Amino acid sequence: MKRVLKKLGIVGIISLQLCGCSSQEKVQNDTMKKEETVYKKEKNKKMTKPIPEKEEQTIKKLIDSYIQTINEKNFEGHMALFSTKSLGLEDTKAQKQAEFKNKNKKIDLLDFHVENFEGEYAVVETKEKEESVQKKVRYTVGKENDVWKVEEVRVIGKG
């Protein structure tokens, strides 16, 4: 009986130690994740510069032109707004050409906000209404020969 109790005691001590270690490890991992999140937020805040009013207005005009060329089905004007540095420009051109032939879109710009500005580069989020559907769109724009150009357009949410 003493041996059984002794073995149970040893097993109990070992299991308590293991449980204690794993819970301590979990607390340490949670703390590290929180620190990493705070670091990333601080880093993003430091990287974002305040956008000058003139630049913001110029970027807004670019987005307005982008939407206007879609509404007017002005393919050449629309493609002129894209940067030559855009990845997959030829694919985008083919896709847009097909869209312009087949679809009659009417898009309204509801909201415009520059999320990140780094001098020669900006990320803009908009709310747009296409027919009866509202969507959030993220534009990545960059300066090319001192003129703002669209580099990428991505729908990031609907509703």
Structural contact between residues 73 and 100, judged by C-beta atoms closer than 8 angstroms: yes
Phi and psi dihedrals of 115, rounded to 5? Answer: -80, -40
Structural domain spans, the chain? 1-47, 53-158
The architecture in CATH of the region 53-158 reads: Roll (3.10)
> Residues 2-13: what's their mean pLDDT?
70
Q: What is the pLDDT of residues 25-62, one digit of tens each?
A: 555 555 555 556 655 555 555 445 688 899 999 999 99
Q: Minimal CA–CA distance to 83: which of 142, 34, 30? A: 142
- CA-CA distance, 153 to 142, in Å (whole number)? 12
pTM over 0.75: no
CA distance 152 to 61: 16
